[in-house]
Structure 1
Amino acid sequence: MNDSVRPAAGPTDLPSESGASAPIVVVGSINADLSTRVSRHPRPGETLHGTGGQVRPGGKGANQAAAAALMGGRVAMVGAVGTDAMASDALSVLEGSGADLTAVRRVDGPTGLAVVTVSEDGENTIVVVPGANGAMDADAVGACSEVIASARVVVLQGEIPREGIEAAARLATGRVILNPAPVLELDAEVLCSADPLVVNEHEAALVLAQLTAGPGSVDGLSPADLARALHEAGIRTLVLTLGAAGALVGTPTADGWDLQEAPGLSVDAVDTTGAGDAFVGALAVRLSEDAALVDAARFATRVAAASVTRDGAQSSYPREGEGLPGNG
């Protein structure tokens, strides 16, 4: 058992406030990833032979924390694992990354699980079973209020309960990076407090529907038009990720609002699993150092590009000092 994780406990047992404060605090999911490779993704009802079957650490929260810590950020993780054997797998990279795990609690039942299927072209599908992540409600997050409030940057995603995400956003006194993936219903106040909101095009459309109280039509909207629509709906700063094409970065200016590009990089993709989380973790590191958002996004694009050239999520993340694609 990892000594930095609290002993097996019931769902009402909460972590203490004994963890050291860190400039970056990630509040989110911790999973074990069961990874398989196939020549192509199966059609409905179809069975294919695959390879792999390795269990690796994952979960969007843990991925982002690991990416930030490996790139030299001082990071504390707030989350939960179960009492099963997969808890050790889920925490293995975080333990070695230097992240503070004092605020990771252990609850009865299984650790969160993601089943990842990767095709030959590097594209993936993922099925997530929440497990212990479901225990990260407002009470569990509130028990870590001092750690969260002391952070310069608080990073949130969509793989813990809504009330836990909203509690963390309201406890934060520093900058909140909100990456609502998967997208779930959140208070407009929380969405609009993001600085920045980090979404891909699909997620952007779903968030826009929440903010405008209706699905509307985004068919035919360019990424730039979609970004502007989110700003008009109340989003202050935005990073709209575009996969291999990079990202668009929206920030307020004296004259209104400005969109700039963080260009994509050409690399030989092996596995895209966790690339978006590598981006968010690297973004958090630069923002904790007071970099301009567009500069942070351009750096994050390079880290994400490096990650897709290797298998896995956390196992693919580069370390501080390692060469990255593109110009620094």
Structure 2
Amino acid sequence: MSGSHEEAIKANIASFDEEFAKKYEQRESQQLLAILFVKYLLELNVHDKPVKRKTPEESSVIVGNPDKFNGGFSIESSLPDPKTYLKEYPHAIFRPGMKLLDFACGTGMVTELFVPYLTAQGQQSEIVGIDIGAAFLQYFNNRATKINSSSEIDMRSYQYDILDAELQPQLSEQFESHFDAIVCTLSYHHIHNYEQVTKKLATFLRPGGWLFIVDFYNEDVERVGADPSNPAVLSHAVQHMGGLKVDKLNHTLANISELTNVSSAREFRAWIWQPASFIESHCTGEITGKLSRGELRQRQGVDSEIEYLVDVSLIYAIGQKPC
């Protein structure tokens, strides 16, 4: 394990402390994005080969109403009805009896939204969360305690760095060829060596299992090197998100991790309220320019922190383990 990877792990643990976890749970943008992540994962049709993805034009519409709580989205009105889900999506991956891993699971805000789709009498489903942060896993474990009152769900977490050399025998014994699906949301742009992380995650999939990577997508990243005179390519966001290019993600999934049915594409755009620190490290040069010029709408957010209204793009990268 490289020193850079170790340093990145330590930095992430230091940043994602108990105070940050508390704010994360309370932040409206995270609740909104959790709903949208699960909505578009549940509705993603991977039955057709190759998987049909949205074109840039199809995913260009910005969803949500910033003047409504959670952008106007809710679990009840926005997610498929669990009672009729398998009738509407007969080829769905997410179903009772499956084994699901939420990698870099955080507080479990996303994880718990899958539970109704994995619950059916007489069928045992397994949900595992892996994260490096103890503070975040406290919230995950509180959710698991409530969910595990149902005999149909076994939900538990592990505080692991999956590239830790000392853990490799244990990880292989626990998880090799184990999961039907792995999801990872809003974490890859924090991972120093995501190519090797992806390669390891691929070993956790059973033959035919799917890996879904969901993350912020900065369109400026694709233009890096194409036009050095473009101020957007010099933004801090590009440095922060520099690894998340469509071609690089596809290469990581197909060539490094040896997955098939690989594709990466913007899945949707959404209005969210975020503090300046987020905008400066995640958003395009156009948006960071508006922030510096005072052109963004603002409001008071968590702990009276000033939040600004921005539109963000989300990319879904997917791959399947060969049967």
TM-score past 0.5 threshold: no
Give the TM-score normalised by structure 2. Answer: 0.31
If the length of structure 1 is used for normalisation, what is the TM-score? 0.30
